[in-house]
Amino acid sequence: MKKIDYAKVDWQDETLWLVRGKRDRLAKALPEWEALRDAASRIKLYSNSHLPELLEQFETRAIANGAVVHWAKDAAEYRQIIGDLLTSHGVRHFVKSKSMLSEECGLRPYLESLGIETVETDLGERIIQLLGSRPSHIVLPAIHVKREEVGALFEKEMGTEPGNSDPTYLTHAARRNLREHFLHADAAMTGANFAVASTGEIVVCTNEGNADMGTSIPPLQIAAFGIDKIVPDRESLGVFTRLLARTATGQPITTYTTHYSAPRKGSEFHIVIVDNGRSSILADREHFRLLNCLRCGGCMNTCPVYRRIGGYAYSYFIPGPVGINLGMQADPKKHKGNLSACTLCHSCSVLCPAKVDLADQIYRSRQHYATSARKKLISKGMTFVMNEPWRLNAALGVAPLGMRVLKGLGFSWGKGRAFPDIPSPKKTKR
């Protein structure tokens, strides 16, 4: 068993709990909060069951706005489309803001293999890129990194003062460093929080404004989104923007909510619409509600297991309750081990702004995929005993002595927890 750094576990748990606390205060300040969640869930169920119409409507509007629309059925097509766009435009320096879709599809390594310098411009994601690591949270990718570690990293990468880990100082250093990249970029890319069918707009919610900075200069802009990001119109968009930042980071709204519709004068705007397995999720009776997910990360902040083990304990690149479920959709054999990282406390399901039945989905996946031989053995043993009352009676007859023997031999229910006392059975009153 790996040795656990309990101080770091507590630090991470407290940090994420603070975010959950901020979310709670804002959620409880809106009398219509639960009605908003209901509306969000219903709009998502509507849009995900009307994808052909809404996506085509989006495409028509986007083309009318002057954008070029591409369709990618999987990660390979997504990479190819973007790679071809960049090479055909002679792009050498490329800036991109955070996009979980690009992580999902392995965009950065692919572009680097083509010799295109790719710079992440969101601060957290930039830290992760410089560390050569992967995000441990979908909204707060570097939440597990302490500021002292950032100080040491920036000292090496940007020549900041040795030992200075003042957040303001480090942010200014990152800003200076990123500005150089913004000024010299040949192309810029964003993901999308939402795509509005009725207007053909891409909506990007950020706090730093770096996505906007990146897309303001170069002659080529790309935006890519998964088909589940579609919302019918601006009215429904309002429901989601009210829920998103409140749940994700405990802010009423993100600092910047940018609507991209048309290319800037003299530039090109390309939009890539990606499936990559989403339509199979939609076809899955037990899991289609996963497509309701807004990628707010709220389920991570509230998950008592995630807060303690952190994102790297999961095999899939998206951790926490939604990551457990998305991993099972992507490759169940590879990611079934994550199913054990859940007590079925249902906090995620009750908190989710779009009402994804996260805990129930974990329960259902457990029925199809076993996570450990030990659990299987215990479960089968229990079933055997319980199938006949006389077996249960016999087991309970020997249990008090058995437990005393186990305790006497120094066994425990895991390190740090004693076995329960089992009282001697008495005649049950009938």
Partner 1 sequence: MKVALFVPCYVRAVAPQVMDACRKLLQHFGIEAETPPGQTCCGQPMGNAGYEANAEHLKQRFTRIFEHYDTIVAPSSSCVTFVRDRYGDTFKGRIYEFCEFLHDVVKPASLPGEFPHKVSLHNSCHGTRLLSLASPSEQNIPYFNKLRDLLSLKAGVEVVECERPDECCGFGGLFSVEESQISIKMGQDKVRRHLATGAEFITAADSSCLMHQQGIIDRQKLPIRTIHLLEILAAGL
**Cα(85)–Cα(91) distance, integer angstroms:** 9
Check residue 396 for interaction with partner 1 (CB under 8 A). yes
Tokens matching residue 134: 């992967």
Instruction: Return all residues near 405 (Cβ < 8 A) that are at least 6 apart.
Output: none
**Integer CA distances (angstroms), 16 to 23, 141, 199, in order:** 11, 12, 36
Residue closer to partner 1 by CB (options 279, 371) is 371
Residues 157-186 that bind partner 1 (CB under 8 A): none
- Cα 394 vs. chain centroid, distance in angstroms? 48
CA distance 255 to 189: 19
- 29-37, 54-62, 165-173, 268-276 -> range binding partner 1 (CB under 8 A): 29-37
Number of residues that bind partner 1 (CB under 8 A): 71
Q: What single DSSP character describes residue 7?
A: H
Q: Is 264 in the site for partner 1 (CB under 8 A)?
A: no
Residue with the two structure tokens 């009352």: 389
Beta strands in 321-420 (DSSP E): none
Rounded distance, CA 383 to CA 337, Å?
A: 23
Using the minimum distance from each CB to partner 1, give the nearer residue, 24 or 286. 24
Min. distance of Cβ 160 from partner 1 in angstroms? 35
Instruction: State which of residues 15, 30, 89, 184 lies at the interface with partner 1 (CB under 8 A).
Output: 30
Residues contacting 202, CB < 8 A, separation 6+: 190, 192, 194, 195, 223, 225, 259, 260, 261, 271
The reply on whether position 408 binds partner 1 by CB under 8 A is no
Q: Say what angle helices 234-249 and 33-48 make with each other, to 10 degrees.
A: 120
**Region binding partner 1 by CB under 8 A among candidate stretches 98-106, 188-196, 248-256, 300-308:** 300-308
Q: Does 6 contact partner 1 by CB under 8 A?
A: yes
Could you tell me the smallest distance in angstroms from the CB atom of residue 8 to partner 1? 12
Q: Which is nearer to partner 1, 73 or 368 (CB)?
A: 368
CA–CA distance, 306 with 323 (Å, rounded to integer): 11
Residue closer to partner 1, measured from CB, 265 or 417: 417
**In this structure, what are the phi and psi dihedrals at residue 262, rounded to the nearest 5 degrees?**
-110, 155
Q: Measured from the CB of residue 327, what is the shortest distance to partner 1 in angstroms?
A: 16
Residue 415 found at the interface with partner 1 (CB under 8 A): yes
Q: Which is nearer to partner 1, 25 or 92 (CB)?
A: 25
Taking CB under 8 A as the rule, which mask of x and - marks residues 89-118 in contact with partner 1?
Answer: ------------------------------
**Residues in 366-395 that interact with partner 1 by CB under 8 A:** 366-372, 374-376, 378-380, 382-383, 385-389, 392
Q: Does 426 bind partner 1 (CB under 8 A)?
A: yes
Q: Which of residues 309-368 bind partner 1 (CB under 8 A)?
A: 309, 339-347, 349-351, 363, 366-368
Q: Reduced to 3 states, what is the DSSP secondary structure of residue 340?
A: helix
